Amino acid sequence: MRASDRAYAALRDDIIEWRLRPGTVLPEVEQSERLGVSRTPLREALSRLTAEGLTTTAGGRGVVVTDISLEDIDELFELRETLEGKAAALAAERGDAAVFLQLQRELLEAPALISAIDPARHEYYELVARLDSAIDAAISNSYLAQAMRSLRVHLVRVRRLAADDYARLTAAAAEHAAIAEAIAAGNPRLAQAATTMHLHRSLSHVKATHTPQ
């Protein structure tokens, strides 16, 4: 693997996992020494992060980790509803029903995964990621898929803010199962509606856990 890829992945994870807080400046020499690479590949990594919106160049003062405000979350979910609603509808039109039926079955059994010992819920999130991938493949629209991929980076970051308790995750699994069911049934409008429902509930949950004060 290339040094620039390693630097990019390391920095991206640090930002997504909130180990690098918003506002943190990332001087090139300091970070290149921390990650054990030279300045050249590190600069490329920073360029990619800035293109994705995870960092911004603060005019002569280096790049800084971007903040995510509550307004940002609203905007993020507004775009997400647009893109993922369309994607679900297209998947219902073009997707393979068998694939989504299988995903629906697995999602209905997801509570077992959530109650398992893994506190990070890797198995559950991996299952949801497989649903995303199946939708990506079904829509056969690389531009739309690319737009959603660039969104998901920010969404993972937001997800780390929310308290993903057992109750919410089981509800979310049921909502995902409903999306998969609608796609498997070949019903575009229902798939879009199920997606809208799920995103609104997710957004409500995030805002409820993040603005109690």
Pick one of 11, 15, 26, 155: the residue that binds DNA (CB under 7 A): 26
The residue type at 152 = R
210 binds a second copy, rule: CB under 8 A = no
Question: How many residues does this entry show for the chain?
Answer: 213
23 binds DNA, rule: CB under 7 A = no
104 binds DNA, rule: CB under 7 A = no
What does 29 bind: a second copy, DNA, none (CB cut-off 5 to 8 Å by kind)?
A: DNA
Pick one of 22, 34, 38, 147: the residue that binds DNA (CB under 7 A): 38
Three-state DSSP at 25 gives strand
Pick one of 7, 37, 55, 86: the residue that binds a second copy (CB under 8 A): 86
Pick one of 20, 88, 127, 151: the residue that binds a second copy (CB under 8 A): 151
Alpha carbon 164 to its chain centroid, in Å, reads 14
Whether 119 contacts 67, CB under 8 Å:
no
- Nearer to DNA by Cβ, of 62 and 111: the residue is 62
Tell me which residues in 55-94 interact with DNA (CB under 7 A): 57, 59-63
Alpha carbon distances (Å) from 35 to 72, 89, 184, 204: 30, 43, 45, 38
Pick one of 10, 64, 147, 153: the residue that binds a second copy (CB under 8 A): 147
Residue 60 Rama label (left phi>0; alpha psi -120 to 50; beta): left
| C-alpha span between 202 and 209 (Å, rounded) | 11
Residue 72 half-sphere exposure toward CB, CA atoms < 13 A: 11
- Total residues contacting a second copy (rule CB under 8 A)? 26
5 binds a second copy, rule: CB under 8 A = no
> Which residue ranges make up the site for DNA (CB under 7 A)?
2-4, 26-30, 37-41, 43-44, 57, 59-63
